[in-house]
Amino acid sequence: VDQPSRRVSPGSPSSLKEANQGRIVEVLRDSGTMTQAEIARVTGLAPSTVSNIVRELSTSGVLAVSPTVSNGRTAQAVRLTTDAGVIVGLDFGHRHLVVGIADPTCASIGEMRVALDEGHRFEESIDEASRILDVLLSEAGIDRSQVAGVGMGLPAPIDSRNGEVGAPSIMPGWIGVDAASVATKRLGLPVLVDNDANLGALAEARWGAGRGAENVAYLKLSDGVGAGLVIAGRVYRGRTGTAGEIGHATMNDYGAVCRCGNRGCLETLISTAAVLGLLEPNHGRNLAVVDVVRLAQNGDAACRRVLMDTGHFIGISVANLCNVFNPDRIVVGGELAQAGELLLESMRHTLSRYGIPAAVQTVEIVLAELGARSHIVGAFALAAQLHREQPPLRPVD
């Protein structure tokens, strides 16, 4: 038996309506909540057309409408509901995993952070993420079929040509894996993958401390050290995805052997492991970054010295980065960003001595605003691309 075809000819009233519905969903995805008048202005659609489509899409549950006051007048505020699809973010670290779900505008609906064993394996970690996702979806009353896609951040370069996880990866068991296709298979959902510092850069540039700046470098100072570069609003990855890997810039030819195989990389001097290791003789093994910061603020000489030296070494690298990349703003994120001004003051001091004056006099150095959430929010932004490509919006007749 022939099924009636959903295909419609271009220019027919039905395809025009679908196009207009799609346009309204698109502007709401980018802007969050808008009044009907604003939607009409941004889309160029007639107010009556907007009003009709909003009524239909709210009847079908894709849009929610609530009264608001705009320019002193009562208006209808319109936003997407989760019936328009949700997106999923995964942020993998050396020892942690964050799973989050968000609406199509990247506003978080639920997030969960769990500890992972060091040296965790790729497949098992993805399965763990899948279990957590089920919990979050069921808590929010959302069906898995409503997930439009997954954005996944990994602490490793991702080869832009084939999607393979490159070296040096903080997770050796993951190198050479085509992370996006393996994860797509195991999760049964479309997955995009990117380096976590790139995702942090994207999130901070769009919603955090990088807002309004043209060229932004985001520093991830954690177990791994790297930078994400945003140029004119877009992440710059380079040919094989290693752009911004400042953690492996040589600081000392005869320094400690790094996990990348070289010696004396920046990361060997300033990773959280290096910082805690330096303080072990004074403060023992069970120290965390938050303790170091608290002790330093309370005047502990060793903690202060180590944080200042850390800022100094980062300052040298950032001076080189500024000379080459000449960004408007440096956004400092990752675990060590908790040290705040203790770190930034020392960075700025070194930067002013080591950088080309024209490059470093104008650059602003600020702390990440999204804090520990930078990477998961960037993962949402990545997943939102999948939402754009495959709008789960069912046409309303």
Q: Where along the sequence are the contacts to Zn ion (CB under 5 A)?
A: 248, 258, 260, 262, 265
In sequence order, the 6+-apart residues with CB closer than 8 A to the CB of 74 are 67, 68
Lookup: tokens for 147: 């997930």
**Nearest approach, Cβ of residue 73 and Zn ion (Å):** 60
**Nearest approach, Cβ of residue 332 and Zn ion (Å):** 20
Q: Which residue's CB is nearer to Zn ion, number 85 or number 168?
A: 168
**Nearest approach, Cβ of residue 247 and Zn ion (Å):** 6
Rg (CA), the chain: 24
Mapped onto helix, strand or coil, the DSSP state of residue 371 is helix
C-alpha dist (Å) from residue 39 to 55, 70, 277: 13, 13, 55
**Nearest approach, Cβ of residue 262 and Zn ion (Å):** 5
Q: Which residue's CB is nearer to Zn ion, number 45 or number 274?
A: 274
**Nearest approach, Cβ of residue 17 and Zn ion (Å):** 56
Residue 102: name the closest of 394, 382, 397 by CA. Answer: 382
Q: Which residue's CB is nearer to Zn ion, number 42 or number 260?
A: 260
**Nearest approach, Cβ of residue 249 and Zn ion (Å):** 8
Q: Which residue's CB is nearer to Zn ion, number 246 or number 289?
A: 246
**Nearest approach, Cβ of residue 248 and Zn ion (Å):** 4
Q: Which residue's CB is nearer to Zn ion, number 60 or number 240?
A: 240
**Nearest approach, Cβ of residue 243 and Zn ion (Å):** 16
Ranges assigned E (strand) in 71-118: 73-80, 86-92, 96-102, 108-115
- In the beta sheet, which residues pair with residue 75? 68
Mapped onto helix, strand or coil, the DSSP state of residue 214 is coil
The answer to whether the peptide bond before residue 4 is cis (omega within 30 degrees of 0) is no
At 193, which helix (H) or strand (E)?
strand 191-195
Chain CA centroid to CA 372, Å: 10
Q: Which residue's CB is nearer to Zn ion, number 75 or number 260?
A: 260
The answer to whether residues 270 and 317 touch, using CB atoms and an 8 Å cutoff, is: no
**Nearest approach, Cβ of residue 167 and Zn ion (Å):** 10
**Nearest approach, Cβ of residue 225 and Zn ion (Å):** 9
Q: Which residue's CB is nearer to Zn ion, number 255 or number 392?
A: 255
Residue 142: name the closest of 58, 79, 83 by CA. Answer: 83
Q: Which residue's CB is nearer to Zn ion, number 79 or number 248?
A: 248
The answer to whether residues 134 and 144 touch, using CB atoms and an 8 Å cutoff, is: yes
CB neighbours of residue 5 within 10 Å: 6
Residue 103: name the closest of 207, 202, 29 by CA. Answer: 29
Q: Which residue's CB is nearer to Zn ion, number 204 or number 245?
A: 245
Instruction: Using CB atoms within 10 Å of the CB of residue 54, give its burial: 0 to 12 exposed, 13 to 18 middle, 19+ buried.
Output: buried
Q: Which residue's CB is nearer to Zn ion, number 260 or number 372?
A: 260
C-alpha dist (Å) from residue 337 to 77, 218, 290, 333, 377: 38, 11, 10, 5, 17
Lookup: tokens for 195: 């380096």
Q: How far apart are CA 138 and CA 159, in angstroms?
A: 35
